[in-house]
Structure 1
Amino acid sequence: MTTKKKPGGWLESIKTVVYAGLIAIGIRTVAFEPFNIPSGSMIPTLLVGDYLFVSKYAYGYSRHSLPFSPDLFQGRVFGSLPARGDVAVFKFPRDNTTDYIKRIVGLPGDRIQVRAGRLYVNRVEVPRESLGLYTVEGDGPRITVRRYREALPASPNGQPAPHEILEATDDGPYDNTVEFLVPEGHVFAMGDNRDNSLDSRDMISGVGFVPLENLVGRAEMIFFSVDGSAAWWEVWGWPFAIRWNRLFSAVR
């Protein structure tokens, strides 16, 4: 007994694929978008090879919430300020294309300064607690630096949880800055790997102040992580390359 393919079968298959694509784009635009970490500026919070979900609704929506950032409208819809301490993805202000991920340490109107490696918010030193040494791997030469737990001050959105930072020295290029006054409509972002981060401390060729419109979303959860020890074709090494302890962990 033979069966005939129903007329329109291929059309139905194509429609299913199109619908699935539209649903995926919709989820990516309004809910969550996956990102991967290619550099070490956020070590130890985020490691090279981490894959994470970013909530697109956390700060409302701008043109950068859409694929390819089409110039359809200005500003944000349903916009809200990030909180100090949020780990946020944003478009690099100098090209509005490249994705960066840093920690928000300054809100509009805040005064931010770094003196002798210590962060000051509104002229108050942010406390940090020594946690000993930390070996940085997977981002260039293997080096040992100092690790601290830092506690940012509360913001209108609440008290952030303490987070960890790294310092190779307290006398690096960005360890002594002028006092920055964050303008309205902008935030100040810094990497947790303080001596290996191109961020808001560099107003000339770096990130500078980040316009609120450039915010893409807030990092929420690491859903996958690999240490790079196995190439894509080394199937036998995949299980050993996965950082199992980082899977499905919250970003803090």
Structure 2
Amino acid sequence: MKRKLEELEPFDLKKEIFSWIRIFIAAVVIAFLVNNFVIINANVPSGSMETTIMTKDRMLGNRLAYKTGDIKRGDIVIFKFPDDESQLFVKRVIGLPGDKVVIKEGKIYINDSEEPLEEDYLPEEWTVGNDTSNLPDGKNEYNVPEGSYFLMGDNRNISNDARYWNNTYVKKEKIIAKAMCVYFPFNHMHALESAEYN
């Protein structure tokens, strides 16, 4: 036992400090890469997605989701706001490339369907911006260009979404991540699921 103890290297303060510095630098680099290429950590400042995502919730998004998969109707996405790309928004995908989206009497109709989308995630009756009489310029029909998407908030009565933007549609390359979960505050913690429409 004595011989084994004698074989241990003497404590070297410089080497120990250098070892900790390397670990710290590696951790910072990994955190930077994960935050910029794998996940996005976002704070939600408004109530436009309530009650799916509440004001001041913190959430995570998957930056890799659309590298391997398609953006689907009903997905909740984080994207660069088309009227000011320095801002990030979170909304739900309603219209896909090539879709015709019609808003009529508080309902959404896709591609001349007689049945509206079933939107059980809306927190209350949709009364603002829900028809030609109260939409900008009386417009209630949107033809989504190829490579772009039509996005809306779940809380339609207060949401600043595609109905009101100067640049109505969001290009695919401006969609940064698929929203995955709310993680804070802890009593709001839940996964963010895509809506499934019949």
1:130-141 equivalent positions in 2, closer than 5 A: none
2:14 is matched with: 7
1:45 is matched with: 52
1:131 is matched with: none
CA distance in 2, matches of 1:116, 1:10: 68
1:219 is matched with: 179
CA distance in 2, matches of 1:32, 1:41: 22
Which among 155, 165, 169 is matched to residue 127 of structure 2? 169
CA displacement at 1:87 relative to structure 2:
0.5
1:103-150 Cα offsets, whole Å, 9 max, x none, are 00011000112112211111224244xxxxxxxxxxxxxxxxxxxxx1
CA displacement at 1:13 relative to structure 2:
2.7
Instruction: Give the alignment's Cα RMSD to 1 decimal.
Output: 2.3
Return the TM-score normalized by structure 1. Answer: 0.64
CA distance in 1, matches of 2:84, 2:121: 29
> Does the CA-based 8 Å contact 1:54-1:219 persist in structure 2?
yes
CA displacement at 1:165 relative to structure 2:
4.2
CA displacement at 1:82 relative to structure 2:
0.7
CA distance in 2, matches of 1:177, 1:12: 63
Q: The residue matched to 2:158 in structure 1 has which SS?
A: coil
> Does the CA-based 8 Å contact 1:113-1:121 persist in structure 2?
yes
Count of aligned residue pairs for this structure pair:
179
> Does the CA-based 8 Å contact 1:166-1:192 persist in structure 2?
no
Return the TM-score normalized by structure 2. Answer: 0.80
Which among 120, 126, 131 is matched to residue 109 of structure 2? 120
Which among 201, 204, 209 is matched to residue 163 of structure 2? 201
CA distance in 2, matches of 1:127, 1:179: 15
Which among 133, 138, 150 is matched to residue 188 of structure 1? 150
1:203-240 Cα offsets, whole Å, 9 max, x none, are 42xx5100101111111111112xxxxxxxxxxxxxxx
Gaps of 5+ in 1: 61-77, 129-149, 151-161, 226-241
2:192 is matched with: 251
CA distance in 2, matches of 1:187, 1:171: 19
CA distance in 1, matches of 2:159, 2:72: 20
Are positions 1:103 and 2:44 aligned together?
no
Identity of aligned residues (%): 31
> Does the CA-based 8 Å contact 1:53-1:220 persist in structure 2?
yes
CA displacement at 1:42 relative to structure 2:
0.4
CA distance in 2, matches of 1:165, 1:110: 25
CA displacement at 1:97 relative to structure 2:
1.8
CA distance in 1, matches of 2:127, 2:20: 59
Structure having the larger proportion of residues in strand: 1
Gaps of 5+ in 2: 1-9, 194-198
1:65 is matched with: none
CA distance in 1, matches of 2:99, 2:123: 21
